[in-house]
A and B are shown apart, each in its own frame.
Chain A
Amino acid sequence: DTEVTQTPKHLVMGMTNKKSLKCEQHMGHRAMYWYKQKAKKPPELMFVYSYEKLSINESVPSRFSPECPNSSLLNLHLHALQPEDSALYLCASSRKPAFDRASTYEQYFGPGTRLTVT
């Protein structure tokens, strides 16, 4: 099973709302990632979790708050978003965090959550 699932598929929220995105994998992967992707653009890394600990935060605004409750689950909590935050949010996982070239593992992506902020 090489599946990463994400819920919901679509989300429309107002600028004052609080919502959460969920990502799940059951492949035993120990690195998980959140990306933001605008139309016709490459994904932009937001956060990396390694062994359930936040290891990379790409200077993401605090209105995005990640959480990794266990090794299979990754959440992204959203609060007071702006219309420019509308995008496709992708979750990905890899077998392990790669700390050297000999241990680079490919990332498996979920289908994404299409977020619209009104």
Chain B
Amino acid sequence: AQTVTQSQPEMSVQEAETVTLSCTYDTSESDYYLFWYKQPPSRQMILVIRQEAYKQQNATENRFSVNFQKAAKSFSLKISDSQLGDAAMYFCAYPLFVGANSKLTFGKGITLSVRP
């Protein structure tokens, strides 16, 4: 069964520092996508970054980058130069295919706080 694991429930980072959020997953597929979503308090969930498994290069979006280790089934999110607005709950997600549809399987999430 495909599962997504985020083992750290909470993390804290000093403003302007770098933090890495961990995610591991289990799949028997060879080609797939992985996503990180961010959900600030009382605000809507937005996509932070996505990684295509067949691409060797790690995805990058401004201050956000991933460390994708396909063999280890690890998909970490690195946030550089952390800002107060980065405080949120972060979910790692994997699309599971069910027949002709897909549904996102989310990890339990990690709450990131940013210290000024």
| Interface size range on A against B | 20 to 34
Bound-complex Cα distance A31 to B103 (A): 11
Q: Ordered nearest first, which 7 A-B pairs have the shortest CB separation?
A: A42-B106, A98-B102, A109-B45, A111-B44, A99-B100, A104-B33, A101-B31
Bound-complex Cα distance A89 to B69 (A): 34
Residue of B nearest to A3 (CB): B44
For chain B, what secondary structure do more than half of its interface residues adopt (helix, strand, loop), or is it mixed? Answer: strand
Q: Report which of B37, B46, B47, B89 forms a contact with A40, defined as CB distance below 8 A.
A: B89
Q: Is B98's beta carbon under 8 Å from chain A? A: yes
Q: Which residues of A contact B (CB under 8 A)?
A: 31, 33, 40-43, 45, 48, 50, 55-56, 90, 97-102, 104, 106-112
Given contacts A40-B109, A42-B91, contact A109 B46 (CB under 8 A): yes
Q: Which residues from A are CB-within-8-Å of B108?
A: 41-42
Q: Is B104's beta carbon under 8 Å from chain A? A: yes
Residue of B nearest to A58 (CB): B103
